[in-house]
Structure 1
């Protein structure tokens, strides 16, 4: 390999190295032929016209661009052997390892997991090379020969994949092209001066560090205009310990930001390229409604351009108004001279806590590294006291009034939820979660049963126990018998099954920090943070023992029941009622016997509704029913949820929502295999398939049983069962036709596993608070109101009637 050095020799060498099992392998022979063509060494002329043209243009470029360089070939039987040969070479001239071809059994595995192993070996090779040999592993400098992949590929390794070429001349031509490409890129890279971190990205990251430490997450989707800012933010987040979370679309980033705020109180920074503000859709409204903290950074074109590509501000439109119409604060920084002013405004809007701040910035601003003095402000001061007007009246209600009390909380952090459970224990306060905030209070906490918890109260999915607690003879109890406490909630329509008329007749207590959120039917409104109020109440409350006993008796008088009988029948295809009853029993045993804990994710549709209504929970979950009830939002949040907690995650989605959004599985696996985010717990996604939009069908069929049409149909293709391994994680798909408790328990309890379960179900209109189900014949107590709707003759049945029953 060595070339005798004299004053006339080229000043440096460009190395083409081949690591192969056999020195006479196809790759080694192709490399030798490529080098002969490039150097003009004696040998057969190219027989292929295509190869001849490739060689002609490559030699034309190399002769002009690097006339002082000499291409040379090195063949080794391992990377260690290559390092040894280069270290032992006596030639003192500097050399560049221009192209490394790996055609070795050690690297022939084409699975995703092989990429990490190759990266590790390339890093070891780079460290072992002598100083005179430069090498920068990249897809331009490394070819990895593998068999065509049977499963998945991901283009993130510092190498370019190669499969067996269809002809010898094609392999030679490919090497000539790749070698010359590498030379050109290496020459061009010498013109680039390493740039310091960008000012805007660094300022936002440091501000979030001050406000949220390691909790805030980076959610980014690539684009040419934002690529440099994303690089800087990823380096900062990784060094600081903040999660970097990806998704299959820009929209999925907003879903993930919403979920992490709801579950963890974690702010987010979303970064997208030009024109992508519209991709967030109604999820922007959900972020505003939940007052999620963070920033949405969108690239923008230079002001004054005539209809710029992917522009958000043109002569015909202004997409900033989309965000403003949803009540979000918008800051537009079009020039570096306004960066300090714009960031100060953005930081102040963040601290105001009215939802994420939308930042539009031009490429000039995004790429600027110019130092700027930035005022990051101070966090808003904490409220001095929760003893606000109405506090004493609420305290009297809790302590002495002989009425039933039911509390439905909004989003609460763990400490506040603990305080609410303690208040319920001491005051006889019944607890109910909601379809939008499932699990904020739950049947189990820390493995222990919570006796005050009755179930879910919502427009859809109200549990039988909650219905029984609130009603007498199918009618809401009057205001002098019970009071409803909504804690940290705006009491949106979806939060209660009560009609506007019944809400006006009820006794409503509402705690909402912003008086603008107090409902018009509220009888007693307190404007303070829910956690502070709970602390103040626990410091003072002393309940009359007789009142406490009566309230506990009221709770105990309700029955814990599914209140349907179709869920007892193992017909095939399974009804949702039967499947979720079986899953309930499996989860209940896992929780009680094995200390199982999980975070639930519930998409919009019958599957998510049934899961909220029927399954025991161990803590807060994330529901797509909040805000706009956007189908698919909860599913899109699953990767971010699963990769930011060590416990288990169960997600429930129907075929309708599944069909509306991109597949999450590739993104999830990419973050595990390529980004190195650990997945230690169990993620199981139940995709419930029955061929239609079930809730809409139920609505239509309640009015007209024959109302079946294509508008509610959903066609789904179901894979056969498969299992794959990614690093230490098992990824599998399973079809579930019948609910076998042992198989379900094994799926849910396996650590470091991702299970996609397609559950094939029948459609029905029964149970889970749907339509007229509360008045149906399957209830624990036959509804007289239901009979009024359905009976053809209201006279009592004859004593000798075959339909007579006293049951």
Structure 2
């Protein structure tokens, strides 16, 4: 923009509407007359309720004369955005107010058109009334979704006096804010330096994670300056900036970022809203997601501070301590250096949400703070530092099990890095062990990879949602006969293997048929299997690989306290399975892969559909897309009976996000979607029950906005399945199997109305609504393969408690028996 003439305020009007141009000229002319005490100026003829506003404005401006404010408003009119931009670049104008009429200009609602028109220049003063966009009524929602904040939006009314009154108010608001009110004038002076807390946190995060972290924020008066500074610092980097519907959404987004992409986080909120994060804070701690949580807090010296958590009646900091989380309170700017240094030391020593409570004075201080960066020495490899003979014996025992044990072996995998996943798949192929993911880590090992099924993968193993193949593997055991095994080992001259088998048989005759369950990066907790602790002790041999000694189960037969990478390092050069055992394991896996996962009762079509029917059909469709179209997706599974059907029946290609993790909080999956819509590069399939949908805010508009802003938007598809059966179906399933009661007073969920149609939310980005009562593969195939589109499917389903691995009881009913028994 050009240099601003002394004593003037320039206004830029971009419009092709002659009436709007005349309105603005009239109001500017009238204000100039009041600024310069011109006695006889043609009135704008405001009528009725608008006339008093005109008198107020006239009196106020005359009171400001002689106080050093502007003497004149200068209006520049342009017929196009291009012409206005050229004038600014040529230093023709230097506007503090831009009125942009989008009607007839063909503006795409996918970016802020004011960003370049209101660029900061020396001497210019901007206010909340500096940017006004005029649009057609039909476009209001679209522009409000995109702009918001201090970009004002108007649809011109037919009544001229109302239009002129509004323009008068807007211009007077700007003059007061930018020139006449001393308190407000200070806010128009641009701050060139970020607040000290933001600069220090930003530098400390970059020193540890580079650009592999995200900033999640929910605004508040005390934390607004910190948030603004973090935005400025992150501009032009790959550091993600995310808000959400509430604080819960921030915590869920941070958890998804760590679990799916390995991204650390900073969260900024006010302490009064901290409880809105729900139990997801505990899930963040449980998953070891490293991050700093900045909470604006009022000091104890304020008598019952508004939204404060420290007073004679309560202590919000004690609540954080009770969750096992580190926290400190920075009361003064002088506390920043030591407080932030301590916070990051705590974060280094124990990854998880680390809380920094800070007063407004500490958060808004711009006095530079230097927090020294400590040199962190990586922990030595567990293998290289092993001195305990006992641990080596256990590792050798694990190698012997893989190479010589005739019993079934299953590895249940927690969340794996991409490298770990490939190593696990490679070892599984070489040894013939079976693989499983779980409801808390869906897709940790995939059902399909590179367009081919993974032969060792048998499905999820969990308390709920376990696959039929997993059930057959664990309940109907097969092993190599002991004599054949020893004969094969002896013929190969493996005396140590023969001795191992002989010792095993002498120790326990049944050992050879007792399956091994290996839990990699898991706790072997209650959610991991459908079995009780007593059943696990009696009927299985348990091995765990977990670096945290507190997470080794007391019933584990083989506890390996170490990192998974070190465990795999030890195994890989020692893998040499006995050929007979390997052939048996492979043939056993082949038999299981050929076994029917779908039972005849799952194929019965009803109206409404059963979850079993809908998801076995959808699973077949997704399988075809994976095989024939190279389809890949990230699955999102909220807590509910129907999402278990999805998790069990639809094959996965990549790791997904699960609301079943940790506290199993209904709504976590749904609230994670806006974050995933920005970050995720692949297609997204989300499965949300009506109970979870009713528990959290409506995220559809935010999801559409986030998806449209993603650089990956045009190349992928996001499909959200709302699974509506009118009840909290998991609870009703429990009632069905325990009490045979009608639990309608406890479990009913109101049903939303049907929706249908296709709507454009941004340039070439669409939202499509579908109501599904019967399965139509053509409709679903077209919708799932439509790039640049978000699909909301309202699926009508009935409730049942049959099959789908809902319990051991549900898999033992007559309709779940293998068909060959009856033919």
TM-score in same-fold range (> 0.5):
yes
1:533-548 aligned at under 5 Å gives the runs 533-548=567-582
Q: Which ranges in structure 1 are unaligned for 5 or more consecutive residues? A: 1-9, 784-804
* Corresponding residue for residue 350 of structure 1: 347
1:70 has 2:72 as partner: yes
Q: 1:14 aligns with which of 9, 13, 19?
A: 9
1:654-803 aligned at under 5 Å gives the runs 654-672=689-707, 678=713, 680-725=715-760, 726-771=762-807, 772-781=809-818
1:499-510 aligned at under 5 Å gives the runs 499-505=532-538, 506-510=540-544
**C-alpha separation between the residues in 1 aligned to 2:245 and 2:703?**
9
CA contact 1:735–1:757 (8 Å) conserved in 2: yes
* Corresponding residue for residue 109 of structure 2: 114
Question: CA deviation digits over 1:40-59, x for unaligned, max 9?
Answer: 54324745353332223223
Q: Secondary structure, in 3 states, of the residue corresponding to 1:391? A: helix
CA contact 2:771–2:794 (8 Å) conserved in 1: yes
Name whichever of 250-259 and 761-770 sits farther off.
761-770
**C-alpha separation between the residues in 1 aligned to 2:102 and 2:780?**
42
* Corresponding residue for residue 369 of structure 2: 372
**C-alpha separation between the residues in 2 aligned to 1:104 and 1:522?**
68
Change (3 A) 1:380 1:355: farther
1:634-653 aligned at under 5 Å gives the runs 634-653=669-688
Change (3 A) 1:374 1:705: same
**C-alpha separation between the residues in 1 aligned to 2:12 and 2:437?**
65
Change (3 A) 1:600 1:75: closer
Q: 1:485 aligns with which of 509, 518, 539?
A: 518
* Corresponding residue for residue 182 of structure 1: 174
Q: Which ranges in structure 2 are unaligned for 5 or more consecutive residues? A: 479-508
* Corresponding residue for residue 101 of structure 1: 99
Higher helix share: 2
Q: 1:260 aligns with which of 257, 260, 265?
A: 257
Change (3 A) 1:234 1:77: closer
Q: Secondary structure, in 3 states, of the residue corresponding to 2:421? A: helix
Q: CA deviation at 1:502?
A: 1.0
* Corresponding residue for residue 578 of structure 1: 613
Question: CA deviation digits over 1:449-484, x for unaligned, max 9?
Answer: 21111111111111111111111399xx96432211
Q: CA deviation at 1:545?
A: 1.4
Change (3 A) 1:104 1:371: closer
**C-alpha separation between the residues in 2 aligned to 1:209 and 1:217?**
11
Q: Secondary structure, in 3 states, of the residue corresponding to 1:406? A: strand
Change (3 A) 1:706 1:775: same
Q: Secondary structure, in 3 states, of the residue corresponding to 1:357? A: strand
Name whichever of 45-54 and 463-472 sits farther off.
45-54
Question: CA deviation digits over 1:322-348, x for unaligned, max 9?
Answer: 222121111222222222221121111
* Corresponding residue for residue 319 of structure 2: 322
1:141-540 aligned at under 5 Å gives the runs 141-149=130-138, 151-152=141-142, 153-154=144-145, 155-156=147-148, 159-165=151-157, 167-187=159-179, 188-189=184-185, 192=189, 194-379=191-376, 381-386=378-383, 388-389=391-392, 390-472=394-476, 479-481=511-513, 482-505=515-538, 506-540=540-574
Q: CA deviation at 1:717?
A: 1.2
CA contact 1:681–1:753 (8 Å) conserved in 2: yes
CA contact 1:238–1:244 (8 Å) conserved in 2: no
Q: CA deviation at 1:563?
A: 4.3
1:591 has 2:600 as partner: no
CA contact 2:728–2:748 (8 Å) conserved in 1: yes
Q: CA deviation at 1:73?
A: 4.4
Taking structure 2 as the reference length, what is the TM-score of the superposition?
Answer: 0.87
Q: Secondary structure, in 3 states, of the residue corresponding to 1:395? A: helix
**C-alpha separation between the residues in 2 aligned to 1:518 and 1:219?**
33
Q: CA deviation at 1:672?
A: 4.6
Name whichever of 583-592 and 190-199 sits farther off.
190-199
**C-alpha separation between the residues in 2 aligned to 1:71 and 1:705?**
78
Name whichever of 623-632 and 69-78 sits farther off.
69-78
Q: Secondary structure, in 3 states, of the residue corresponding to 2:60? A: helix
Q: CA deviation at 1:486?
A: 0.7
Change (3 A) 1:468 1:164: same
Q: Secondary structure, in 3 states, of the residue corresponding to 2:194? A: coil
Q: Secondary structure, in 3 states, of the residue corresponding to 1:122? A: coil
**C-alpha separation between the residues in 1 aligned to 2:299 and 2:709?**
35
Question: CA deviation digits over 1:590-614, x for unaligned, max 9?
Answer: 1111111111110000122111111
Question: CA deviation digits over 1:710-760, x for unaligned, max 9?
Answer: 311101213421222212311111111221112212211222211111111
Q: Secondary structure, in 3 states, of the residue corresponding to 1:14? A: strand
* Corresponding residue for residue 488 of structure 2: none
1:561 has 2:596 as partner: yes
CA contact 2:127–2:174 (8 Å) conserved in 1: no
**C-alpha separation between the residues in 2 aligned to 1:85 and 1:620?**
52
Change (3 A) 1:185 1:518: same
Q: Secondary structure, in 3 states, of the residue corresponding to 1:244? A: strand
CA contact 2:600–2:815 (8 Å) conserved in 1: yes
